Amino acid sequence: MGVRVFLVILGLLVVTVNSQRSTIQCKKENGLFMHDQYCDYYYECEDGIPKEKACPNGLAFSGKGRGLMQNCDYPHRVGCPDNEGRVMGQAPIGTDNCPWLYGVFAHQTSCTRYWQCWNGTATIQQCPFSLLYNDILHSCDWPDNVPDCQKHPICKDQPNGHIPIDKSCGRFWLCVGGYPRLQRCPAGLAFSQTALRCELAQNVPGCEPPPTTPAADDEDDSKIVGNQVQGVDAPPPRRPNARPSGQYRPQNGK
């Protein structure tokens, strides 16, 4: 009796799965189309017959010929999860420092670094300047937009304001909410460690511009000797107009 019940239930499941597959229709005879439930699957239609395809583990369908590889890209780039309820359907395949085979992931102990995983191989990346990794945006961001990270030691005594940089005339730190942002004074200005602002470089001790050499007197460079000026041959004087020779002949018989 129990075997019959099991066979009946199994038959119902097969009918249900087949009926669900039969409801999938290709929008066109040939092409790639989004999966109705999962971001990391899609349909490839050939002559009106759909075939289910899977993206590499950790990537989501991005469209034909788009994305990083095989018509797939990072989920955050394609908007997964989306408003229609599509989520990642594959189980994650994790390796060292990679929750999925492909993706961008936060570092375990550092806010300025993150992991970029490609086929299960993790490569550490460093955020530029004073930026921190934002795990929500999957990119480097201003520190005050990453509240989960520890305050930076540069701004531990002054969470908001200007902090000078030793032996630097043009650069300084701007602390915002306990996180530093590297700043630079405009050309001709230097950062004053006493006034804590950019001022004229000649007014900041140790940052004065070098003195300029004054131009030589023009009269000393224009001594004329004969037909030469400072060893350069001067042009000869113009000859006066020669007097007309012969008798005067009026024009037009006059």
CA–CA separation, 104 and 135 (whole Å): 9
Residue with tokens 């902090």: 163
Say what the pLDDT of residue 217 is: 55
What is the percent of the chain with per-residue pLDDT over 90, rounded to a whole number? 50
Of 159, 155, 171, 35, whose CA–CA distance to 44 is shortest? 35
Say what the pLDDT of residue 84 is: 86
Which H or E run includes 132? strand 132-134
List domains and CATH numbers for the chain: 25-91 (2.170.140.10), 92-149 (2.170.140.10), 153-203 (2.170.140.10)
* Mean pLDDT computed over 167-174: 93
Say what the pLDDT of residue 118 is: 96
CA 144 to chain centre: 19
In contact, 106 and 133? CB cutoff 8 Å? yes
Is the model more confident about 189 or about 4? 189
For residue 244, is pLDDT > 50? no
199 phi/psi in degrees, rounded to 5: -135, 175
CA distances from 43 to 35, 65, 85, 101, 217 (A): 6, 14, 17, 22, 84
For residue 9, is pLDDT > 50? no
